[in-house]
Chain A
Amino acid sequence: QVQLVESGGGVVQPGRSLRLSCEGSGFPFSNYGMNWVRQAPAKGLEWLARIGHDGALEVYPESVKGRFTVSRDNSRNTLYFQMNSLTFEDTGVYYCARDIWNDGTYYFDYWGPGTLVTVSS
């Protein structure tokens, strides 16, 4: 069965960096686009990045462009998320999600359980 498992979360000081990982299994990882989505405490979902199946295309919202970077290693079935210059507002649960392209749109059919990032001094 399809599984996505995030790791790398934890407590980090403001201004520091953190790299998250997401390992996929149960499906041909290299065939799918992948995304990172964040949820701040008691808040809604915020999409942070998408990377194409072969890593050739990255897309970000303007709010994180230049500070966060998504990448992938298909030989390891792993998605990465490099986060720099972290602030208190970056605290939250970070999910990776597989996407499906259908009829001119993307949606997320599988999600990992999430990893918690806490930015604290």
Chain B
Amino acid sequence: SYELPQPLSVSVALGQTATITCGGNNIGSKSVHWYQQKPGQAPVLVIYTNSNRPSGVPERFSGSNWGNTATLTISRAQAGDEADYYCQVWDSRTAFGGGTKLTVL
């Protein structure tokens, strides 16, 4: 199955910009989707097809995908952004990254 390494944890100061990466061999040739999961809750889609935001997701959330790295960027980080974030691709099967825990300091 397609491997999608993510950093285990990322920390960001309140109001600053957080960057969460998702690696993969030539991942830039695939479409990457991102989910936010808060404790005890189901995942929520925050970015689809690399850089598109579903309705209701703040503009502070953005995505990019190039070469061997896809990136989720959260600008002006808020306490409410603390969560686990997962990347996902479809490569004849669905694959999820291992997840990144975002801490807002």
The number of residues on chain A lying at the interface, defined by a beta carbon within 8 Å of a beta carbon of chain B, is 24
Q: How far is the CA of A102 from the CA of B35 in the complex (A)?
A: 17
Query: Could you count the A-B residue pairs with CB atoms below 8 Å apart for me: how many are there?
Result: 67
Whether A66 is near chain B, meaning CB under 8 Å from some CB there, is: no
Interface presence of A72 (CB below 8 A): no
Supposing A107-B49, A111-B43 touch, asked if A47 and B31 sit within 8 A by C-beta, the answer is no
A106 lies within 8 A of B96 (CB): no
Query: Which of these, A35, A45, A102, A113, contacts B49 with CB under 8 Å?
Result: A102
A35 close to B94 (CB less than 8 A): yes
Which of these, B31, B37, B98, B99, contacts A105 with CB under 8 Å?
Answer: B31
Chain B residues with CB under 8 Å of chain A are: 1, 30-31, 33, 35, 37, 41-45, 48-49, 54, 84, 86, 88-90, 92-99
